[in-house]
Each structure stands twice: as C-alpha cells, then as structure tokens.
Amino acid sequence: MNAELDHNEHAAPTSSRPSYDDVNSMAIFMTVIISSIVTVVIVAAVQGMAYQFQNSFTAAQNKAYPQLQSVQKIDAQKKSLLDAPTPIEAAMENVIKQYGRAVTNAANTTGNNTTEKAEH
C-alpha cells in the first residue's frame, strides 16, 4: 500500500481550475448568434404589435368622434376663400355691410398727412 501512495505522490497535480482547452468556443458562438436572432425577432414582433395597436386606436378614435359642425363650417369657409380670392376693398365693404358700422380708413388719413408735409 505504501508503494501505491508513493506512486500517486509523484503524479502531476490535478488542477481544479479549467484550462482554455476546456472552453467550448463553438457552443458559445452559436449561443450568441441564436440569441441575437431571437432578440431581433422579438423586437420586430413587439414593434409590429405596437404599430397595429396604434393604428387600430386611431381608427377607432376617428369613428367614435365625428367631425363637429363648427369644424365643418370652418372648412367650408376656408374652401370658399381659397376658391375665389376677394380684393381688399371688396372685402372691407363686405365687412361694413355685414357688421353695419363704418371703419375709418387709416390709409387715407396717413396719406393726406404725408402729402401735406411734402407740400411745406
């Protein structure tokens, strides 16, 4: 028995630390590649679902709230203004007719003052 103990004492010590030869680099590489692909697929799926929910919410919101009558009137007025532009003098006359009061023409009063100053 002593002979066996002596033989084991001279044997190379076994290390409990792993060596670089023990690391399976191919398995690590494949794990990284597969997990990257799975991550990209999950991100794309979540983004697609978010866009789908956003589009369905927008469509439901547009159906739930019809356009108000005041907004329809404003749109009609904008369209009529863009279709037939009115000269400023005609627009001023229309405003006076509609609201029934005279507006002093500031352009004429300032024009008269400048001509008087130019004469002196």
Name the band, by pLDDT with cuts 50, 70 and 90, for residue 120.
very low
pLDDT at 13 over 70: no
**pLDDT at position 118:** 47
What is the separation of C-alpha 25 from the centre of its chain, rounded to a whole number of angstroms?
43
Q: What is the mean pLDDT of residues 33-57?
A: 95
Provide CB contacts within 8 A for 86, sequence distance 6+: 94
Give the containing element (helix H, strand E) for 5. helix 2-9
**pTM for the whole structure:** 0.37
